[in-house]
Amino acid sequence: MTFKLSSSPHQHAQRSTSDLMRLVIFCTLPGLLVQTWLFGWGTLIHLVLAIVVAVVTEAAILELRKRNFEVAIKDSSAILTAVLLALSIPPLAPWWISVIGAFFAIAIVKQLYGGLGFNLFNPAMAAYVVLLISFPVQMTSWLPPESLTQYQANFADALSVIFTGFSNDGYSLQQLQLGIDGHTMATPLDQVKTNLTLGLTYNETLESPVFAGGLGVGWLWVNLAFLAGGIILLLQKAISWHIPVGMLGAIAIMALVFNGIDGDQYASPLFHLFSGGIMLGAFFIATDPVSAATTNQGRIVFGACVGFWIFIIRVFGGYPDAIAFAVIIMNMAVPLIDYYCRPRTYGHARSGK
Amino acid sequence: MSNDTTADIDNTPNSEQPNDDAPALSKQNNLQQLKDISWQGIWKNNAATVQLLGLCPLLAVTATLINGLGLGIATTLVLIGSNCTVSAVRNLVPNEIRIPIFVMIIASFVTVIQLLMNAFTFELYQALGIFIPLIVTNCAIIGRAEAFASKNPVKFAAFDGLMMGLGFTLVLVILGAIREILGNGSLFKGANLLLGDWASQMEITLFTTDSAFLLAILPPGAFIGMGFIIAFKNLMNNRIEKLFAAAPTTKNIARVRVTAEK
């Protein structure tokens, strides 16, 4: 029997970057599948487009920078960025949306700052914000869940809408957005926002067909699937619990307080937690190891502030959902958070004792 | 955009009076100085890309090429006027109160330009809005007054104003062109506002699209575009400097070879 001695650090071999990235990509699969199941094939088509553009862009720029691009491509970080971007783009947006988005995310947000590990901002979310403010119409044309649409779109239709703007039967995106009753259907968050400005109360809004039991049809399942993927990430110790818990906790508390003050104006905590991209944001986007805070204490602060901004922008701002804005605002605050949340150095006394 | 940077940009050419005994030499010296001033103003010490002065109007008005050109010309005119005046009074102004005096000189020139634009290019005047009176606060202008004009004779100061203004205008025009092409698919849109009705034919439409790249027109586009211009300037620095700056300095210095070549 040999008795091995090794020098410090005495840590078990942790995952390499590429293992971690691949694990995160696999954990998005439940959400991806549910989103495809409920909202049509568009997400998958955008996923393929975004991955191809992201990887080609990464390779081209690394070649320009005279770096070894094979290593960088194999770490799958570009693919993860593309996956997150494709998941946040409306399924039937035109093809150039994901092409511009993936190019911007990799070329400008990631590589111009020095590549993986040096980017200040979350590449997928920065690209999403660029797309959202540049092409507001395309970026907000979400479909209603397939169970509620007037016209169904199969894979060929989705492909056709994305590349030509019309389905094989000649329906435009606007027609595909129609619900069974012939009205254009908005997302649950849109619906709440619009109806509140029209003078309806929150409870009256919940009677419209995009809601079932107080939660958005379809969106609940998408969020549950991302929650499941996120829990796998937590169990695998790929991410720490601090950011998701901070973010979801902040949203829940704020929603509870506002809902308690005026239930006619402010949606319930459950509605806030299970609509839009909250679970995707909490477990997959805000936890980006590069652009988020690095200490555990700091992560709670970071997550809570992201949740705070999401709630503020959702309720009082001009946009129905705000994960990208919230994450980018807090990315800018990360150096400050890290400065004030430094862990105690081993051997030094706690301050004040 | 603080005035602190003005301390670093003191590229005062030799301000000693040329020697009367050698008029030929002084003429060459003059030419060399003018060359140096234009080199500094347009490339080496460009107000926008190197000193990063006057970024506020630069980023705010460059949504189209013509807007940029209009503000650039206005700034250049103010810069020439203020540089001349500051230089002319430089020996009369007490050192302690020079800044208020410079600001008043600049403000009066801005008022003149503003009234002229109001009279002759009224629509452009409206398009540029608050940014015309704000030329007063453009650090590039007070920076030149303090760093150059207050130490040099009038002719050099005027030339420096022209060259610094040209460098600034160049960046405004390039940034305006990039943003206009990306965000609107056109060039020279609204040229008639600056140049009169005949210029409305100058507008070039490169492409038309239902969904323009709004980011380029919005403020973030200005920052990103400016970043790219500065990056490009830094990228080209070595090459351009070899082309222009090296030429006058290559003097054949005959050295005695002290070691054998290996």
3-state secondary structure of B126: helix
pLDDT averaged over chain B? 81
Average pLDDT score over residue span B225-243: 87
pLDDT tier for residue A352 given thresholds of 50, 70 and 90: low
CB contacts, 8 Å: A133 with chain B: 214-215, 218, 220
Q: How far apart are CA A278 and CA A85, in angstroms?
A: 14
Comparing CB atoms, the residue among A133, A137, A138 nearest residue B215 is A133
* Total number of domains constituting chain A: 1
Is residue A29 one of the residues assigned to a domain? no
CB contacts, 8 Å: A325 with chain B: none
φ, ψ dihedrals at A352, nearest 5°:
90, 0
pLDDT tier for residue A280 given thresholds of 50, 70 and 90: very high
CA angle centred on A183, ends A180 and A185, rounded to 5° = 85
Span A202-225, pLDDT tens digits: 888 787 777 776 677 788 889 999
**Residue A101's closest CA among A156, A62, A150, A138?**
A138
Is residue A136 one of the residues assigned to a domain? no
- pLDDT at residue B165, rounded to an integer: 92
- pLDDT at residue A30, rounded to an integer: 93
CB contacts, 8 Å: B212 with chain A: 134
Asked whether residue A104 carries a pLDDT value surpassing 90, the answer given is yes
Asked whether residue B9 carries a pLDDT value surpassing 70, the answer given is no
Which range (A153-162, A169-178, A325-334, B212-221) has the least confidence? A169-178
Span A281-291, pLDDT tens digits: 999 999 998 89
Quick one: what percent of chain A has pLDDT higher than 70?
A: 92
Is residue A318 one of the residues assigned to a domain? yes
B→A contacts (Cβ < 8 Å), by residue, are 211-215, 218, 220, 224
Does residue A320 have a cis peptide bond before it, meaning omega lies within 30 degrees of 0? no
Q: Which residue's entry shows tokens 């004792």?
A: A353
Q: Which amino acid is at A279?
A: M
- pLDDT at residue B18, rounded to an integer: 44
Per the model's pLDDT, the better-predicted residue between B53 and A253 turns out to be: A253
Is residue B117 one of the residues assigned to a domain? yes
Is residue B165 one of the residues assigned to a domain? yes
- pLDDT at residue A6, rounded to an integer: 64
Please report the ipTM that was assigned to this predicted complex: 0.79
pLDDT tier for residue B5 given thresholds of 50, 70 and 90: very low
Q: Which amino acid is at B130?
A: I
Average pLDDT score over residue span B140-155: 89
* Total number of domains constituting chain B: 1
The range of the structural domain enclosing residue B97 comes to 46-247
- pLDDT at residue A69, rounded to an integer: 80
Asked whether residue B8 carries a pLDDT value surpassing 80, the answer given is no
Is residue B114 one of the residues assigned to a domain? yes
Quick one: what percent of chain A has pLDDT higher than 90?
A: 45
**Cβ within 8 Å, pair B215-A108:** no
Average pLDDT score over residue span B159-181: 92
CB contacts, 8 Å: B211 with chain A: 135, 137-138
Is residue A87 one of the residues assigned to a domain? no
The range of the structural domain enclosing residue A260 comes to 185-337
Is residue B27 one of the residues assigned to a domain? no
**Cβ within 8 Å, pair B224-A108:** yes
In angstroms, what separates the C-alpha of A133 from chain B's closest C-alpha? Answer: 6
Is residue A140 one of the residues assigned to a domain? no
Span A215-251, pLDDT tens digits: 777 888 899 999 999 999 999 888 999 999 999 999 9
Per the model's pLDDT, the better-predicted residue between A175 and B218 turns out to be: B218
Q: How far apart are CA B163 and CA B129, in angstroms?
A: 25
- The structure tokens listed for B30 are 């003059």
φ, ψ dihedrals at A179, nearest 5°:
-85, 180
Per the model's pLDDT, the better-predicted residue between B260 and B155 turns out to be: B155
Average pLDDT score over residue span B231-259: 70
**Residue A222's closest CA among A29, A18, A11?**
A29
Is residue B210 one of the residues assigned to a domain? yes
Residue partners of A292: CB distance under 8 A and separation at least 6: A243, A286, A299, A302, A331, A334
Average pLDDT score over residue span B192-202: 77
Q: In this structure, are residues B117 and B74 in contact, taking their beta carbons and an 8 Å threshold?
A: yes
Which range (A60-64, A180-184, B27-31) has the least confidence? A180-184
Q: How far apart are CA A129 and CA A112, in angstroms?
A: 18
Is residue B39 one of the residues assigned to a domain? no
Average pLDDT score over residue span A62-83: 88
φ, ψ dihedrals at B260, nearest 5°:
-75, 145
- The structure tokens listed for B210 are 């239902």
